[in-house]
Structure formats: C-alpha cells, structure tokens
Amino acid sequence: MIAYKSQVRAAVSKAGTIAVTLLGLLTLTFIIGRVMPNDPVRAIVGEEATREVYENVYRQLGLDRPMWEQFYKYLHDVVTLDLGNSVRTGQPVLEDIIHVMPATIELALFAIIISATLGVTLGMVAAVNKDRWPDHLIRVFSLMGHSMPIFWTGMIALIVFYAKLGWVGGSGRMSQFYIGLEPNATGFLLLDSAMAGEWDIFRSALQHIILPASLLGYSSAAFITRMTRSFMLDQINQEYITTARVKGLSQCQTIWFHAFINIRVQLITIVALAFGTLLEGSILIETVFAWPGFGSYLVGNLMIGDMNSLMTCVLIVGLIFTVLNLLSDILYRVFDPRTR
Amino acid sequence: MQEMNSDTILAVENLSIRYRGTPTDAVRNVTFNLGRERLGIVGESGSGKSTVGRALLKLLPTADIKADRMQFRDIDLLNTPEKEMLKVRGRRISMILQDPKFSLNPIQKCGPQVAEAYSNHIRCSKKEAKQRTLTMLESVQIRDPERVYGLYPHEVSGGMGQRIMIAMMLLTDPDVVIADEPTSALDVTVRLQVLDILDALVRDKGIGLIMISHDLNLVRNFCDRVLIMYAGQVVEALNANEMHKAQHPYTRGLLAAQPHIGGPRQPLPVLERRPEWLEDVKVV
C-alpha cells in the first residue's frame, strides 16, 4: 500500500512538472512570436495595402490589446487547438502539420532503428575491447558521424550513391513516376503501399528512404555508441560482474545477461533523446533530400516568416521532447526495480 | 615447504602475478597447499592477498600469472584454457565476494541469481534449480526462503545479502571456496552470525576454504592455518593456534598492535615497515 501511495505521489509530481514545462514552452513560443523582426500584419496584407486595411488587420489580430491579454488569447487558442492559418498554404496550420508529419516520423523511425542497432552494438563491442583496436576504430567512426555536418554528408552521399553509383533513389519520398498514384491511408508510405500490395511503390519508397535515414541514423548512432560504451564500462567494473564470472558464466553471457540488462534503462533514455535530436536533424536532411515532411514545411515557412505555422512548429517540437521524456521516465520505472 | 599429503586439494608453488603496464610483481613467489581445512591469508591493503584469490580462478584479465605449479586436484590451472575454466569456476572453486551491496546484480531478483549458479553447471529443470535454491537458502538460515527468493538485492539487509552470496557459492558443492573479506562490509553483530553459518557449511561439506582478510583476530579464531602477506610475499605461515610463535618482525608487529580488553592502558605500538622486508624471502 505504501508503495502504491508513493507511485501516485510520483505520478502527480510528474504531471506537475510537465504542466510547468508546457507553460514555459507556450510562453517561449509566444515571446518568439512577438520579438521576431518581421511584421505579421504585413505578411498578411502585403506591401501595398493602405493604412486603413493595415490597421484593421492589426486590430483583428488583437495586436492593439495589452500583452497579458494577447497571451491569454494565445493560451486559449492553443487549448482549443485553434492555431490559425498558414499564410503560405492558406490551410489551418494544424491540418498542414498533420499532413506532413507522417513523412518525417517514417524517416525518423527508420533512422532511429538504424542508429539504435548500430550504436548499441558498436558501443558494446568498444567497451568489451576497451583500448584495443576495435575500440579505436569505433571511436574514430563515431567521432566522424558526430562531427560531419549532416547537410554536407547528405549532398556528398547523393552525389556518390545516387548520381554516380545509382544504388539508391534521389530526392523525394518516391520516384516521380508514382506521385499521385500512391495509396494513402495512414500517411506512412512504406506501410500504406505494403498494405495496398503496391510493391513497386514500396520498393521505390524504400530506395528513397534508405539514404537519408542511414545518414540521419549514422549521425545519431555516434552519440548512442559513445553513451553505450561509457555505460557499459561503468558496469563492467562492478563487483556483480565478477560474481557472474565466478559463477562460471562466459564473458559473453556475463555481458548480455548481467551487464546489458543493467544499462537497458539508461539506453532507453538515450535513445529517446536521440530520437528527439534526430527530428531536429531531419530539418536539414529533409531540405537536402526534398523530403516532403515537417522539416521542409518548417524551413519553407521560415523563409517567408509565416508566424502562425512557425510558432506551432516550435510548439510541436517542444511537445515531442516533453512526451519522449515522459515516456522514458515511465519505462525507467518499468525496468528498474529500485525506482518502484 | 609444507609437507604434501593425499588430502591436498590445491597446491600452489612460486606464484607471481604482474599487472600489465606496472613495473613490479604484485604477488611474488607465493607457495602454499590447501587441504580440507581453513586457510587464512592476512595482510594489509595492497599486500596482494585478493590478487592471489582471483588468480586461482584466473579472473585477472589485465595481469600475467606465472607459477611453477598451480594444481587443483587433477586440473593444472595454469594451463587450463578459458573454456575449461568456465567448468571450474562456480562448480569446483567458487568465491564469496566482499560486499553484497555491490556483488549482487541490482536489477535481478535474488533467487534467480542464486539458481543461475546451479543451472549454469548442472542440467536441470527450472523447477529443480529453484527447489535447490530454496533448500540452500534455508540452510544459510533464511527463515522465509520463498519470500526472499523474489526480493531484489536492495530489499535485503547486508547480513542477509551475504548469506544469499554464500548460498550462491556453495550451491554446487565446490571443493574450494575462496572468501574474499566476506564479513568486512557487515556490522560486528552480524559478522559472527554469518561466519558461523559459513563455518558450519564448510565443515559439513568438507570444503577447503581460503579466507582472505585483514582482520588478524578473525582469521586467528576462524582458521586452521594462517599465511601472513606483506608487499606481495608470504612472509610467514603459521598454525592459527601458534601465532605467538611468530618469527617475522612484521607478524610480531601486527600482533603487538592488537588491542586487548583488560590490557595495559598504553598507546599501542605503531606498526613498523622496514625496506629490507621488500626483498625476496623464502618461507621455511
């Protein structure tokens, strides 16, 4: 019963933290919206509007009201999911984002699978072979992934693997030939085409996603590798590892059955964090690969100062990070008996 | 050199150990035999006593082990490949580590950890391994083994943790148990209780015990013979009940530095360490 009570208390305090975080996030996006050097009214009415029209819109937007009132209205709008229209597309911002998000999530999921598999494996190998050649090799490999700017590797990879070798598809989510023909149920192209049995489209989509996803995955695998290595080194020097060895377990068994289950929890946090950064990285990679996702949408709106949609994009990114953090917290509790 | 008899389980001759990248041997020319007895190894921190224990199990990945002989029953430990060592560790020689807070896997329940020691060596059903574990937990005087089986290491006390450790290491009826400071992490009151349990089991099963400790009184009361180590060497080997016959000045210094209840109320002598003791000695 006591344990149950403390669970409830933990959940309540967690909810409180999230509420404060979200409020901070909203304040931040609100301030960004007010201090940006572009004029939201001009963005709507254009350069040649008369003074009268300008002031009308100015009032319509509520910009003549005091700051706190504007903030209150903003909060109200967010809570009621009324985030305004995008100037660029003329559509409600939220609809736009729901439309572009699956492309990005598909790319990011593909990338995180690559980076988690690669990163954890390499990190484990490096830790077990500390200070021997596999460790050095992996360190160089991950340092490269960490330090090369992704928009540059993206362009180089396009030149090499698409233009010269022709191994993969070029920009976009699929070959131009199929655009307009793709099935659309969930917005996840690989899933949709597989479900509809459109294997040609599926193959084309796979060829197109593999390069940007690999590059994204590689850049965040560097981070996961380094963290896995250091978590693992922490564990290898613990006494319970000696106990496992004394029991007669082989090194391999010791590593996987004893050390790995101890870093599992930390890995979840790291992968969740990496997933967040990966979404950030996708902004650059989507631009390079003309990937019609959230990143391209954000960059397009940034170029013309489309405030409504920009504020929402920032809000969404913040929201994603908050949710990922919450998720890793919950998983922490599930996997580590000491936190229960 | 001690006399060899048919009861010898373990014979070590001129064991030297050097950690890679260090200029001197951490352990030099250690020689001893072990029968069905309790052998104490005493020494200060860094004297090499734990290193000897780990070397017997070949658990020193960063050290080079040299010896004229390291014979365990029919097994030449020195030339046994790692794959064969896996069958020795935990099955025929096992080791009780110092602090159950660190030596038990923190996110695994105690019971399965103990059972793993058994099922790793002996082909059996899960149920049988569990049954064995429960019986063993009972014989280390855990009153409610079913409950303790499902507890995590952070949920048990230090004394109970160490009893779980003992259960784990004696479950397979090994020939030799190395106890590496088994009680130094425990409260004084729990210490004796744990030692009694260990003592009873070791006698019962006829296990050869190597007790590594820095506690001279404990080893003197608990063991049959005592090796005194200083700076990587055994400076003296004595029967536990003949400690007063110690010849080496280091041993004599150690004994003199022991406080006695009812003894004279004078400051205890400070332990001397002379450089000539670092030179190679031959135990007679």
CATH at A334? 1.10.3720.10
Nearest chain B Cα distance for residue A321, angstroms: 28
The strand pairing partners of A260, in sequence order, are none
Q: Is the minimum CB–CB distance between A256 and chain B shorter than 8 Å?
A: no
* Claim to verify: residue A53 and residue A114 sit in the same structural domain: no
- Which CATH number do you get for residue B199? 3.40.50.300
Domain boundary among A19, A50, A79: A79
Q: How many domains does chain B have?
A: 1
Q: Token digits for A305?
A: 């100062």
CB contact under 8 A, A338 and B116: no
- Please report residues of B whose CB lies closer than 8 A to that of A247: 89-90, 94, 116-117, 120, 168
User: Do the Cβ atoms of A111 and A216 come closer than 8 Å?
Assistant: yes
Centre a 10 Å sphere on the Cβ of residue A68 and count the other Cβ atoms it contains.
Answer: 8
Domain that holds residue A27: 2-79
* Claim to verify: residue A209 and residue A74 sit in the same structural domain: no
Q: Token digits for A302?
A: 């940034």
Q: Is the minimum CB–CB distance between B106 and chain A shorter than 8 Å?
A: yes
Closest listed residue to residue A322, CA positions, set A8, A19, A9, A7: A19
Domain assignment present for residue B130? The answer is: yes
Domain assignment present for residue A94? The answer is: no
Average pLDDT over residues A305-321: 84
- Please report residues of B whose CB lies closer than 8 A to that of A245: 57, 59, 89
Q: How many domains does chain A have?
A: 2
Query: Residues A40-76: pLDDT tens digits?
Result: 777 777 777 788 888 888 888 777 788 888 888 888 8
* Claim to verify: residue A149 and residue A49 sit in the same structural domain: no
- Please report residues of B whose CB lies closer than 8 A to that of A262: 105-107
Domain that holds residue B232: 10-278
Closest listed residue to residue B179, CA positions, set B193, B190, B158, B163: B163
Residue A8 binned pLDDT confidence (cut-offs 50, 70, 90): confident
Q: How much is the pLDDT for B5?
A: 52
Domain assignment present for residue A88? The answer is: no
CB contact under 8 A, A261 and B89: no
Alpha helix (H) residue ranges in A150-198: 150-157, 189-196
Residue A304 binned pLDDT confidence (cut-offs 50, 70, 90): confident
pTM as predicted: 0.78
* Claim to verify: residue A142 and residue A220 sit in the same structural domain: yes
Across the 284 residues of chain B, what is the mean pLDDT of every consecutive 10-residue run?
63 93 90 91 89 92 90 90 92 92 92 92 91 92 92 92 92 92 86 88 89 89 91 89 85 83 80 78 56
Domain assignment present for residue A126? The answer is: yes
* Claim to verify: residue A67 and residue A127 sit in the same structural domain: no
- Please report residues of A whose CB lies closer than 8 A to that of B94: 246-247
Kindly report the average pLDDT of chain A as a whole number: 85
Q: Is the minimum CB–CB distance between B110 and chain A shorter than 8 Å?
A: no
Q: Is the minimum CB–CB distance between B154 and chain A shorter than 8 Å?
A: yes
The span from the CA of A293 to the CA of A291, in Å, is 6
* Claim to verify: residue A253 and residue A155 sit in the same structural domain: yes
* Claim to verify: residue A16 and residue A105 sit in the same structural domain: no
* Claim to verify: residue A266 and residue A304 sit in the same structural domain: yes
- Please report residues of A whose CB lies closer than 8 A to that of B106: 240, 262, 338
* Claim to verify: residue A60 and residue A196 sit in the same structural domain: no
Domain assignment present for residue A244? The answer is: yes
Domain assignment present for residue A173? The answer is: yes
Q: Is the minimum CB–CB distance between B169 and chain A shorter than 8 Å?
A: yes
pLDDT at residue A79 greater than cutoff 50: yes
* Claim to verify: residue A75 and residue A104 sit in the same structural domain: no
Query: Residues A140-198: pLDDT tens digits?
Result: 998 888 888 888 888 888 888 888 887 877 778 877 777 777 777 777 888 888 888 78
CB contact under 8 A, B59 and A242: yes
Q: Is the minimum CB–CB distance between B97 and chain A shorter than 8 Å?
A: yes
* Claim to verify: residue A36 and residue A156 sit in the same structural domain: no
Domain boundary among A79, A114, A145: A79
- Please report residues of B whose CB lies closer than 8 A to that of A337: 107, 152, 154
pLDDT at residue A264 greater than cutoff 60: yes
**Phi and psi at residue A41, to the nearest 5°:** -70, -45
CB contact under 8 A, A261 and B120: no
Could you tell me what percentage of chain A is helix, strand and coil, using 3-state DSSP and rounding each to the nearest 5? Answer: 80, 0, 20
Domain assignment present for residue A86? The answer is: no
Domain assignment present for residue A87? The answer is: no
The span from the CA of A201 to the CA of A173, in Å, is 10
Long-range contacts of B192-195 (CB under 8 A, 24+ apart): B193/B159, B194/B159, B194/B162, B194/B163, B194/B166, B195/B222
Domain boundary among A35, A50, A79: A79
* Claim to verify: residue A74 and residue A111 sit in the same structural domain: no
Mutation for A interface: B80, B103, B119, B156, most A CBs within 10 A: B103
Average pLDDT over residues A209-226: 90
Mutation for A interface: B20, B85, B116, most A CBs within 10 A: B116
Domain assignment present for residue B220? The answer is: yes
Domain assignment present for residue A93? The answer is: no
